[in-house]
């Protein structure tokens, strides 16, 4: 039976605290082994935990992981606009404002929103037809889909409401691609730009290609680890961010090998 990817496929940039959990498990196991008088094994695990604390917390590991993810998108390539262009904006979560109860785009979304608006203005200046498709449902169950919230923000930045295509069903990056495909086909897009964070584009492009969408990736932002003599929580967050992306890519490969993904769309079928 075929099924689509759900686990580890969110476009939201905060992942579970994977690296800190691994460190905690190693330390707890080392303590248990020490109590059981298995001192050599205990010392090995404690040493491993210390090494991980330093190589992750001081920056080398997250910097290396993120550089590999974003290398292909570090420099923006010139854009050749088509006759019917669509800028696809992938969501980065929403938040509820505690004092008012309103729902807004998350802190991590504004770079993507601003980039999509800038591309829209450039496309309009070229004299070609241009739409912005905002893809994102209500993954956090806050009462409003990302697409609607981001769409309002795009209008404040000058995007015409008539030029917005809202895809408000998707709950993860895989569904972003799956549910965007019919919208793009119905519009007859001959140029598709995929806007997301640099660390997220590799996985996003993998999924959009699976559904026959020949997109051009456009980076909205770039993140990296921070070199430090002292372990920083920021570096652990960045490592988790990168590992989340690699896990989603690996999961896709496993699903493809097992035949669990929905059937791929042939290139050019859009």
pLDDT mean over 99-109: 94
Q: Do 147 and 44 reside in the same domain of the chain?
A: no
Q: Tell me the percentage of the chain whose pLDDT exceeds 90.
A: 88
Q: Do 148 and 56 reside in the same domain of the chain?
A: no
- Would 9 be classed as within a structural domain? no
Chain-wide mean pLDDT for the chain? Answer: 92
Helix, strand or coil, per DSSP, at residue 266: coil
Cα separation, 200 vs 11, whole angstroms:
7
Structural domain boundaries, residue 48: 18-70+225-253
Sign of CA dihedral 14, 9, 91, 77: positive
Q: Do 83 and 173 reside in the same domain of the chain?
A: yes
> Mind listing the pLDDT tens digit for each residue in 9-51?
444 455 567 899 999 999 999 999 999 999 999 999 999 999 9
Q: Do 45 and 80 reside in the same domain of the chain?
A: no
Check pLDDT > 70 for residue 234.
Answer: yes
Sign of CA dihedral 151, 248, 246, 270: negative
- Would 262 be classed as within a structural domain? no
Check pLDDT > 90 for residue 107.
Answer: yes
Check pLDDT > 80 for residue 269.
Answer: no
- Would 1 be classed as within a structural domain? no
Check pLDDT > 80 for residue 69.
Answer: yes
CATH number of domain containing 85: 3.40.50.620
- Would 188 be classed as within a structural domain? yes
- Would 119 be classed as within a structural domain? yes
Which pLDDT belongs to residue 3? Answer: 46
- Would 82 be classed as within a structural domain? yes
- Would 267 be classed as within a structural domain? no
> Mind listing the pLDDT tens digit for each residue in 201-216?
999 999 999 999 999 9
Which pLDDT belongs to residue 270? Answer: 60
Q: Which residues make Cβ contacts (< 8 Å) with residue 60, sequence separation at least 6? A: 225, 227
Check pLDDT > 50 for residue 197.
Answer: yes
β-strand 94-96 against 103-105: which pairing, if any? antiparallel
Q: Tell me the percentage of the chain whose pLDDT exceeds 70.
A: 93
pLDDT mean over 98-118: 95
Which pLDDT belongs to residue 154? Answer: 98
Phi then psi for residue 110, to 5 deg, are: -70, -30
Q: Do 30 and 128 reside in the same domain of the chain?
A: no
Higher pLDDT, 6 or 167: 167
């Amino acid at each position: 039976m075929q099924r689509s990817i759900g686990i580890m496929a969110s476009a939201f940039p905060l992942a579970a605290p994977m690296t800190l959990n691994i460190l905690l498990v190693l330390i707890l196991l080392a303590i248990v082994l020490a109590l059981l008088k298995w001192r050599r094994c205990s010392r090995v695990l404690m040493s491993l935990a210390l090494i991980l604390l330093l190589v992750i917390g001081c920056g080398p590991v997250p910097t290396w992981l993120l550089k590999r993810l974003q290398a292909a998108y570090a420099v923006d390539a010139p854009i050749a606009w088509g006759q019917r262009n669509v800028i696809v904006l992938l969501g980065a979560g929403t938040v509820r404002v505690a004092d008012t109860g309103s729902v807004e785009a998350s802190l991590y979304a504004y770079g993507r929103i601003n980039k999509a608006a800038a591309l829209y203005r450039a496309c309009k200046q070229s004299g070609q037809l241009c739409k912005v498709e905002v893809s994102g449902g209500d993954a956090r169950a806050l009462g409003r889909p990302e697409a609607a919230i981001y769409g309002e923000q795009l209008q404040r930045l000058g995007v015409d409401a008539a030029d917005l295509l809202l895809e408000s069903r998707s709950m993860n990056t895989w569904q972003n691609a799956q549910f965007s495909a019919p919208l793009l086909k119905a519009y007859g897009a001959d140029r598709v730009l995929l806007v997301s964070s640099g660390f997220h584009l590799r996985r996003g492009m993998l999924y959009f290609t699976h559904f026959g969408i020949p997109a051009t990736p456009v980076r909205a932002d770039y993140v990296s680890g921070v070199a430090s003599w002292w372990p920083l929580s920021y570096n652990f967050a960045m490592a988790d961010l990168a590992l989340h992306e690699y896990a989603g890519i690996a999961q896709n490969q496993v699903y493809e090998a097992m035949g669990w993904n929905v059937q791929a769309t042939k290139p050019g079928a859009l």
